[in-house]
Amino acid sequence: MVTDPGGNNQERARVLWNNLRKGDQQALGELFKTHFDPLYSYGFRIIPNSDRVRDAIQEVFFQLWKYRANLGDVNSVRSYLFISLRRELLNNKAANLRREKVDKEYISTEFDALINYEKWMEILELEQAQKQQIQKVIKDLSPRQREVIYLKYYEGLTNEEICRITGLRAQSVYNLVFNAIKSLRSHLNQ
C-alpha cells in the first residue's frame, strides 16, 4: 500500500522526473526501481502474462529515456506511468483482442484475486465478525467498482489519476467509489 500518496513520494518522483528530462540516467533508474512493483501489479491485472508485462514496463521506460527531451511537466509521475503502461499493453494487437473479451467480463476474477480482504477491513474499519459478510458483498460489486476501489484504496491514487488511467469521467469515478462504499456499508448494517 502507498503510505504517502500525496506527499514526499510524489515530490521525490517529480524531482527525479525533472532530472530525467535533463538526461540523468540515474534518475531514470530510480524511477524504474520505485515504480516497478506497483506498475507490474497493475499491468498483470490487465494482461496476466509476466513476460509481456515486464516487457511493457521496460518499453515504457525505454520510451521515457528516448523522448526525455520532449517530456513535459506532469502533476503525478505515478499516474503518468500507469497511463503509459496501460496504453503500452493495450496497443499490442493480442492485448487489444484480449481487451475486447475482457471488457465483456471486465477482469472480475483477476481483480478478485488481487483484492486483499484484510485491506478492505482496514479501509472500512470493520469488526472481525463482519469479514465473511464483506467478502460476499465485495464479490457482488461490479467489476468497474472493484477496479476503482483497488486503484483508490490499494494504490492510493486520486480520483483525477483514476480518471486518466481508466478513461472515465470524474463524476463516474466519484459515483463508482461512492456507490461501492455505500453498498458495502448498507449490506453490513442489515
Domain boundaries along the sequence of the chain: 8-99, 106-188
Helical residues (DSSP H) of the chain, grouped into ranges:
8-21, 25-46, 50-66, 77-91, 93-105, 108-114, 117-124, 131-140, 143-149, 159-166, 170-188
* pLDDT tens string 64-98: 999 999 998 888 999 999 999 988 887 764 545 65
Share of the chain above pLDDT 70, in %: 73
State mean pLDDT over 1-17. 70
Class of domain 8-99: mainly alpha
Please name the amino acid found at residue 159.
N
Does pTM top 0.75 for this prediction? no
CATH of domain 106-188: 1.10.10.10
Backbone angles phi, psi at 21, to 5 degrees: -60, -25
